[in-house]
A and B are shown apart, each in its own frame.
Chain A
Amino acid sequence: MVERRPLLLFIQHAVLIFGAAVFVFPIYLAFIASTHTAREVNSGLPLLPGGQMFDNYATVLGEGLSTAGAPPIGLMLMNSTIMALAITLGKLVISLLSSFAIVYFKFPFRVLAFWTIFITLMLPVEVRILPTYEVVAQLGMLNSYAGLSVPLIASATATFLFRQFFMTVPDELTEAARIDGAGPMKFFRDILVPLSRTNIAALFVILFIYGWNQYLWPLLVTTDESYYTIVMGIQRMVNAGEETPQWHLIMTTAILALVPPVVVILGMQRLFVRGLVEVEK
């Protein structure tokens, strides 16, 4: 602090606490709903936790949600994890490689390669989802982890961000590597990738959340319940038609579904924030 102004300091904390409270409130509400019975939730949600927490979580984790019409939650969590990780790692690997090629090599068709990749930023996913489905079906990838993840790897976000970062890496490093007689792959492995550590962390978080939160795509490409993801499971419970959805169990599941992305964010917070800013600069 430059100077001490107790009133100002108080206002600052008040604004921040209020802001944080407002922003976390919807999530708090979901948690509250997961601690009550169905009837309590339906007759106007209370603001304080109820006594059903252990019952609800035990129901969801133990018996699964068979009465709410969804496959076992452990399986869905695992599928979501596999899908999110496959998308994240897949994107990171292909993007690191291709942006390395585009930034550090001059080769025929380089510009064409650049545009082929970058044009993927230009069409909303929802629009091409039906023809993409047809391709996946023709390749026999329905009901597989590959079908769930590989088509979503086709996006240039990560490539674009790595390219931006590589452009800021000092040329002296490349010079030095070349003088030492290091080949391109050695340079890539020993210098560029370690330098990109924070960027990789930032993208890991962003992509993991992107993959975890997918809904429409998994719904289309899976018919086998053993490939259902947790977000699909939640939607299925919500979509109870003319029955009453079991909100208390839905919210319990929603809270559980929130745990992995939050763990990823919080665990990688420091790197994530640094990476974000470096990438965009």
Chain B
Amino acid sequence: MARLVALEVHVLTKKVTFSHRWLPYLLVAPQIAITLVFFIWPASQALYQSVLRQDAFGLKTEYVGLANFAKLFNDPLYLQSFYTTITFSALVAGVSMAVALVLAVMADRVVRQATTYRTLLIWPYAVAPAVAGVLWWFLFNPTIGIAAYALDALGYDWNHYVDGGDAMTLIVVAASWRQVSYNFLFFLAGLQAIPKSLTEAAAIDGAGPLKRFVTIQLPLLSPTVFFLLVVNVVYAFFETFGVVHATTDGGPGQATTILVYKVWRDAFQGLNLGSSAAQSVVLMAIVIALTAIQFRFIERKVEY
């Protein structure tokens, strides 16, 4: 779901508000307490880690300043991982939105059966990433996978263990799978909210289905498109480590080592807490940047 932040200069309230001496504090208390104990405190420890060099067990600790960061940005492979992540995110957002949009437009047009199709397309959203990984492994295994077999029959020698392009395709497909369900729901709802009178009027003027889509429906969908763009990019950036973990392990070579997978791997497998923490600080900076972009475009241009 959206790791979406309204970065507002003024944190808005209603024009009409209640006033009470202690009630608001009581209301925010549970969430503040849980956040402080289970988020702020551990997260600040993670941030503190980024300026330390420490062995895995926490027995020897040394303050190293910004050395962890310096090392990161001097590492060509880390920079390459940025590039991989951007490619991956663009592909996931593009593919999952395009496919979802096509399906939603079709479903919107077959009014009566729309709900049936929606029911069918909603399923992948419920599958746990840990289970989805197993399913993709089965489908694309170069030796016993059905998808690999079908591609082979079409004359394409699929082997994501060797070919970086194949591996990227695999994680894009696997990551988009679930996201298409999600995008589809939004697009369909957005389309159904567009008054039928508008499209009907255009039809009477002789505009064909494609023209009506481009001139009427698409502009009216633009807030949804923009919202989903941000959500999908954020999803691809931060919530896809499970997909990579279950399918390619970041390989072959470093072809599918995206940033969040690297953070996870360096912390969990490499037990390199300092570097991993430094990477997460960089990721935080990216989230803040994405948030700022979202604020500039969505909160300003799109009127709610």
Q: How far is the CA of A111 from the CA of B46 in the complex (A)?
A: 24
Q: Which of A3, A45, A119, A171 contacts B14 (CB 8 A)?
A: A171
Mask, B28-40, CB within 8 Å of A = 1, is 1011101111111
Q: How far is the CA of A103 from the CA of B132 in the complex (A)?
A: 39
Q: How far is the CA of A187 from the CA of B113 in the complex (A)?
A: 40
Chain A residue numbers with a CB within 8 Å of B28 are: 97-98, 101-102, 113, 117
Q: Which residue of B lies closest to A91 (CB)?
A: B31
Q: Which residue of A lies closest to B34 (CB)?
A: A154
**Does A19 lie within 8 Å of B30, measured CB to CB?**
no
**Does A101 lie within 8 Å of B43, measured CB to CB?**
no
**Does B132 lie within 8 Å of A26, measured CB to CB?**
yes
Chain B residue numbers with a CB within 8 Å of A247 are: 138
**Does B131 lie within 8 Å of A122, measured CB to CB?**
no
Smallest CB separation, B293 vs chain A (Å): 15
Within 8 A of A (CB), among B109-142: 109-111, 113, 115, 117-132, 134-136, 138-139
Q: How far is the CA of A163 from the CA of B12 in the complex (A)?
A: 10
Q: How far is the CA of A213 from the CA of B177 in the complex (A)?
A: 16
Q: Which of B5, B25, B134 contacts A121 (CB 8 A)?
A: B5
Q: Which of A29, A98, A163 contacts B27 (CB 8 A)?
A: A98
Mask, B16-53, CB within 8 Å of A = 1, is 11111001110110111011111111110110000000
Q: Is A199 an interface residue (CB 8 A)?
A: no
Q: Which of A9, A130, A250 contacts B134 (CB 8 A)?
A: A250
Q: Is A78 an interface residue (CB 8 A)?
A: no
Q: Is A191 an interface residue (CB 8 A)?
A: no
Q: How far is the CA of A126 from the CA of B242 in the complex (A)?
A: 10
Chain B residue numbers with a CB within 8 Å of A150 are: 34, 38
Q: Is B194 an interface residue (CB 8 A)?
A: no
Mask, B262-304, CB within 8 Å of A = 1, is 0110011000010011001001100110000000000000001
Q: Which residue of B lies closest to A279 (CB)?
A: B2
Chain B residue numbers with a CB within 8 Å of A143 are: none
Q: How far is the CA of A124 from the CA of B4 in the complex (A)?
A: 13
Interface of B, helix, strand, loop or mixed by DSSP = helix
Q: Which residue of B lies closest to A262 (CB)?
A: B126
Chain A residue numbers with a CB within 8 Å of B91 are: none
A contact residues, range = 35 or more
**Does B14 lie within 8 Å of A104, measured CB to CB?**
yes
Chain A residue numbers with a CB within 8 Å of B268 are: 126
**Does B139 lie within 8 Å of A135, measured CB to CB?**
no
**Does A135 lie within 8 Å of B46, measured CB to CB?**
no
Interface segment, one of A50-58, A68-76, A269-277: A269-277
Q: Which of A3, A13, A94, A127 contacts B110 (CB 8 A)?
A: A13
Q: Which residue of B36, B37, B128, B189 has the most chain A CB atoms within 10 A of its CB atom? A: B128
Q: Is B13 an interface residue (CB 8 A)?
A: yes
Within 8 A of A (CB), among B187-233: 188-190, 193, 196, 199-200, 203, 209, 223-224, 227
- Given A33-B138, A100-B27, A160-B4, does the pair A122, B287 have CB atoms closer than 8 Å? yes
Question: Given contacts A97-B27, A215-B130, could you give 18 more A-B pairs where the C-beta distance is less than 8 Å?
Answer: A2-B199, A16-B107, A20-B121, A26-B132, A27-B123, A29-B138, A43-B144, A106-B17, A110-B13, A117-B28, A117-B31, A128-B39, A128-B46, A171-B14, A171-B15, A174-B14, A266-B122, A269-B119
Q: 5 A-B residue contacts at CB 8 Å? A: A104-B13, A122-B287, A123-B39, A213-B130, A274-B189
3 nearest A-B residue pairs (beta carbon): A131-B42, A101-B27, A213-B128
